[in-house]
Amino acid sequence: MRAHSVSRKLFQVFNAFLFLLFSISIVVPFVNAIAISLSSYDALATGSVNLWPKGFSLEAYKELAYSKQFLRTFLNTVGLTVVNTVLTITVSLAAGYSMAHKHLLGRSALFIYLIIPMYFSGGLIPTYLLVNKLGLTNTYAALVLPQIVSTFYIIVFRNQINQLPKELLESAEIDGAGETRILFNIILPLVLPMTMAFVVFSAVAYWNEWFNALIYIRDREMWTLQLQLRDILINTSQFIDQQTQNALIGGAPIVHPENMKMAALMLTVLPIIAVYPFVQKYFIHGQLVGAVKG
């Protein structure tokens, strides 16, 4: 017993130490990025910035705040994230409820038909050719329509709804509730924790979307925030030339390229981080008790 207790304590110490190292590996680079984004040009030029800003400066954030292109891509990303998330969750929940409905004929065949594309997709080139053939290239529809249906979400919703008490749904039907009312007034509150988890997963995925925008969107005004961030990280020399001209002509303060990169990175990451505390409570799944008519 004592040996077991000692080994248990050793495991707990090792586990805590491992998670501490893991946390440090995540927090330290993030803090360093914040420090760089808030430091002055001279401090970054000398490479003296570590975990605390030196020569506190908000010039990089001001540059981005006055950048019409950055603000436009930010609004584009917010709109696409909201639209895609709402459509994906609504379609997945409705499809999961339909597949779990006892009156749906051929549910097993439909389930097999639905699950096959999840393992065997057409691939990038056929998808691009299809989107291009439909005339969706360089439109927001190319970033919305191909991603609305999530087979994984549909299957999970279907399985979760199948586990709900049948008496609950039957009593609603007896009381004269329609399918839409049953779905949104009865089923949705019962699967709300899982729904909110999927909302967060989808929102994060759509917020970080850049590859589809890269291959489908040609107009810079329709870019997403992540694609704009990629452009800032790659085209450093172009930014240096532009800011040097501005400094020589108008006397504007020079912003270090690393300053701009980290500021753009922070503005891209912080909105998602700010949302998490408000939806964290939904990750704790409660038990279904009562609510069944006798």
- Fold assignment, 59-294: MetI-like fold (1.10.3720)
The confidence score (pLDDT) of residue 290 equals 34
User: Mean of the pLDDT values across residues 3-31?
Assistant: 85
Percent above pLDDT 90 for the chain: 12
Which of the four pLDDT bands, split at 50, 70 and 90, describes residue 2? low
**Using one digit for the tens of pLDDT, what is the confidence trace for 72-108?**
999 999 999 999 999 999 999 998 888 887 777 777 7
The confidence score (pLDDT) of residue 120 equals 79
The confidence score (pLDDT) of residue 283 equals 60
Rounded Cα distance, 288 and 191, in Å: 10
58 three-state secondary structure: coil
The confidence score (pLDDT) of residue 287 equals 38
Using CA atoms, how far residue 67 sits from 35, 62, 72, 217, 258, in Å, is 22, 8, 9, 20, 17
Q: Write the DSSP string, 205-266.
A: HHHT--HHHHHH---GGG--HHHHHHHHHH-HHHHHHHHHHHHHHH-PPP--HHHHHHHHHH
Domain positions in the chain are 59-294
Query: CA triplet 200, 115, 214: central angle to 5 degrees?
Result: 55
pTM above 0.85, yes or no: no
3-state secondary structure 94-163: HHHHHHHCCCCCCHHHHHHHHHHHHHCCCCHHHHHHHHHHCCCCCCCHHHHHHHCCCHHHHHHHHHHHHC
Q: Are 199 and 150 in contact (CB under 8 A)?
A: no
The confidence score (pLDDT) of residue 282 equals 65
**Using one digit for the tens of pLDDT, what is the confidence trace for 215-229?**
999 888 889 988 888
The confidence score (pLDDT) of residue 78 equals 92
User: Mean of the pLDDT values across residues 214-243?
Assistant: 78
